[in-house]
């Protein structure tokens, strides 16, 4: 990409007001670099054994719907996919040719994922694992050629030409997305207000007085917030809402 195009793309991503907008600007760059398909995935609550609860994942992609159904929705192959596993455990870039080179070392479940990818023509591309300083966060992005274009040499040549630019712009987009609220709104306005007051050190009684509500209503909003965030305690709700950029955003 030309320097002016890179600067324009970076400006649009930095100025984006939503994760979806940042993603769309990033996708335009990826496609301009010769990769028609891409998938960005981010978990803020990974565990020692994997990616954590799927409800805490953020995934943005333009991969074909029939592929996504078997890869993510109905079969959850993404949890054991070789390149997804690589991105979870590493940072930096990796050619999908790595899967062919290491096929014999894969277990049967991973080989089944490879066969599934082959059946949907998703075999040529590159993966980037983002570096993170937070233990429970991890993100990665896959850049793929068009479905049924299995020319990995072509993908490698595109990466040799555009990889440095794609890495830079993808990392900026990732940092931008991390700073924005989740694309889906998890909490209501009232739940946000209550969590912000509680998170700021106010008691239920204080919050009720400040918001001109009953203590019972405050407790109800806290309970609903805990349910929406799938946590057990109010302290956990405050933490998770903050990590999700659902509170303290004004």
Longest dimension (CA), the chain: 66
Q: Is the pLDDT of residue 239 over 90?
A: no
**DSSP structure class, residue 151:** -
Percent of the chain whose pLDDT exceeds 90 = 73
pLDDT band at 38 (very low <50, low <70, confident <90, very high): very high
Domain locations along the chain = 3-178, 189-243
CATH number of 3-178: 3.30.450.80
Compute φ and ψ for 163, nearest 5 degrees: -55, -45
CA 249 to CA 211: how far, in whole Å?
A: 19
What is the Cα Rg of the chain in Å?
Answer: 21
Confirm if 138 and 40 have CB atoms less than 8 A apart: no
> 189-243: same fold as 3-178?
no
Architecture of domain 189-243: Orthogonal Bundle (1.10)
pLDDT (tens digit per residue) in 118-172: 999 999 999 999 988 767 788 999 999 999 999 999 999 999 999 999 999 999 9
CA 234 to CA 240: how far, in whole Å?
A: 10
**DSSP structure class, residue 25:** H
């Amino acid at each position: 990409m030309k320097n002016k195009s890179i600067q324009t793309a970076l400006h649009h991503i930095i100025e984006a007001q939503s994760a979806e907008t940042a993603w769309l600007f990033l996708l335009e760059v990826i496609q301009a670099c010769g990769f028609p398909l891409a998938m960005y995935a981010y978990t803020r609550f990974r565990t020692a054994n994997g990616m954590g609860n799927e409800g805490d994942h953020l995934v943005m992609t333009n991969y074909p719907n029939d592929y996504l159904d078997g890869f993510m929705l109905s079969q959850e192959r993404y949890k054991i996919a070789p390149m997804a596993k690589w991105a979870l455990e590493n940072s930096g870039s990796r050619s999908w040719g790595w899967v062919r080179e290491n096929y014999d070392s894969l277990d049967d479940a991973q080989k089944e994922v490879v066969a599934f990818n082959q059946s949907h023509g998703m075999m040529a591309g590159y993966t980037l694992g983002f570096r993170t300083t937070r233990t429970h966060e991890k993100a990665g992005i896959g850049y793929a050629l068009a479905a049924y274009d299995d020319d990995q040499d072509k993908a490698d040549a595109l990466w040799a030409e555009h990889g440095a630019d794609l890495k830079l712009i993808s990392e900026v987009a990732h940092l931008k997305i991390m700073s924005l609220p989740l694309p889906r709104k998890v909490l209501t306005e009232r739940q946000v207000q209550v969590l912000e007051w509680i998170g700021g050190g106010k008691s239920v009684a204080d919050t009720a007085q400040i918001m001109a509500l009953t203590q019972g209503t405050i407790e109800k909003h806290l309970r609903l917030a805990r349910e929406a965030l799938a946590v057990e305690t109010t302290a956990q709700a405050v933490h998770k809402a903050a990590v999700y950029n659902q509170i303290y955003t004004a």
